[in-house]
Amino acid sequence: MTMLRTANMDELPAHGLLTRLAASPPDLSAQGTLTPERISSMTVDNASFRLIYGCERVTPEVIDALQALAGQAKAVEKFVAMKSGEVINRIEGFESENRQVLHTACRDLFGDPPCHREASQAAADELEKLAAFLNALENKEICGPDGAPFTTLVNIGIGGSDLGPRAVYHALAPFRVPGRTVRFVANVDPDDAAGVFADLDLKHTLVNVVSKSGTTLETLTNEALARGLFTAAGLVPERHFIAVTGKGSPMDNPDRYLASFHMFDYVGGRYSVSSMVGGVSLSFGLGTDNFRAFLKGANRIDRAAENPSLRENIPLMMAMLGIWNRNYLGHSTLAVIPYSELLSLFPAHLQQCDMESNGKSVNVRGERLSYETGPVLWGQAGTNGQHAFFQLLHQGTTVAPVEFIGFRQNSLDLDRRIEATTSREKLLANLLAQSLALAAGKRDDNPNKDFPGNRPSLILVADRLDPETMGELLAIYENKIAFQGFVWNINSFDQEGVQLGKKLANTILAALSGREKPGPLSGAMMEAAGI
């Protein structure tokens, strides 16, 4: 297989054109820019989702230029190569992880010939192992010491082994298996585990320890804390603890666990929700069928994302609009605001997925880039955000592009018509109104009530948040992030930037344990902090 080499983004022919276009981008607040025709024509449909991008600061000419840029960067070809197993997690000429990137294979299980047969087969095998384990729970072949079923699963993991499964479990609350609960412990702060374990019935609790490397400090520490609690309660941890880890990791030790499931080195932590990392807790909490529907939704988008035309490819269009905002209009942050309480944890997952992937400064050959890469991604659920930070979005000195997400129907069945509209209608009306208000603005003689407008946003909308659309939404963002990395010519799949802090923490820990004298700076910090 040959690597698809491309030049840096600023060396591609379309870059010059985009730079020229960015010198006079459309003013959305100007009379005649924002028209009904514009809004209805600037949409893309994939699977259950519609993307509405008429409130971005683009013209058809800008979209054409972004299409050219995506083509010249071979964004879709690289995506297809990724799905086919090319070793793209690497830095040419330097020591690097040197791995394939095959999270998409975990969901490439639905009829069509898989892009990477072995990886999809391995995923199918783990799913089968998991189904057998869940079956044994169901039949009470595996159960608490008193013969009663396990009702709670505590997921111990951090980062990629926590944020995605936690966000999806929260989002799909209406689909939970009755009588079962999943809880999450991530932080090495012992107050986290203490809070979660305080009110648990340990006898009927499974603990799922998740770490690809099997060496994550926080996770091993919390596992040890948790094992201590089980032992103190007269229970045998090996009958309650299960593991998700990489083959051959220090945690890959069946003697210590009731069951073990594998993830593979070609699935990055932040892309691992569709692997066993999400699979175990989500299948326990939501049921096997719902987890499969989730995978199926993701797979639908993975296929749609192969379309080279951004006008027909939501992830690619969002990627290129993001690059337009970031590199050509100069906006350094991105707000993701789901108008859905159930998606309230989703921005934190995306924050990881995006910022850990694309917060990079060198290209795939290790050369320092002269343009910006990943933005600071932040956000909260709407309408809550309207009563929090929207003041700055509308009238602050910094423009922050927004991605809104909404659903036409409720997930839970509580709604009433109050003053002639339902709560759902109120929610959606606010979503649309915010996007329009940011774009159109409104002049006022009172400068404090003046809205400059011309602030970009887009809207993603589907009928209903359910396992399948949740899978679609996740894959839209995963693929968007990958496309952006391809165009920026970076490796979106490693995370060397987290190493230095870990190393320094270890030297401070060595000092705290009395094993070593701290370095002069660490010592001064410890003294200043009084520890």
Annotated active-site positions, please? 356, 387, 502
> 319 near 357, Cβ under 8 Å?
no
In terms of CB distance, is 16 or 366 closer to a copy of itself? 366
* Integer angstrom CA distances of residue 230 from 136, 204, 206, 274: 22, 11, 11, 30
Q: Pick from 41, 39, 42, 50: which is nearest to 462 by CA?
A: 50
Q: Where are the beta strands (DSSP E) in 47-175?
A: 49-52, 152-156
Task: Tell me the three state secondary structure of residue 476.
Answer: helix
Q: How would DSSP label each residue in 339-390?
A: S-GGGTTHHHHHHHHHHHHH---B-TTSPBPSS--PPEEE---TTGGGGTTH
Query: Shortest distance, CB of residue 498 to a copy of itself, whole angstroms?
Result: 6
Query: Shortest distance, CB of residue 328 to a copy of itself, whole angstroms?
Result: 15
Residues 6+ positions from 122 with CB-CB distance below 8 Å = 105, 262, 264
Query: Shortest distance, CB of residue 513 to a copy of itself, whole angstroms?
Result: 4
Query: Shortest distance, CB of residue 138 to a copy of itself, whole angstroms?
Result: 24
Tokens of 271: 């892309």
In terms of CB distance, is 236 or 512 closer to a copy of itself? 512
In terms of CB distance, is 99 or 129 closer to a copy of itself? 99
Query: Shortest distance, CB of residue 51 to a copy of itself, whole angstroms?
Result: 10
In terms of CB distance, is 180 or 426 closer to a copy of itself? 426
> 494 near 96, Cβ under 8 Å?
yes
In terms of CB distance, is 130 or 350 closer to a copy of itself? 350
Helix H or strand E encompassing 200: none
Q: Pick from 520, 484, 395: which is nearest to 446 by CA?
A: 395
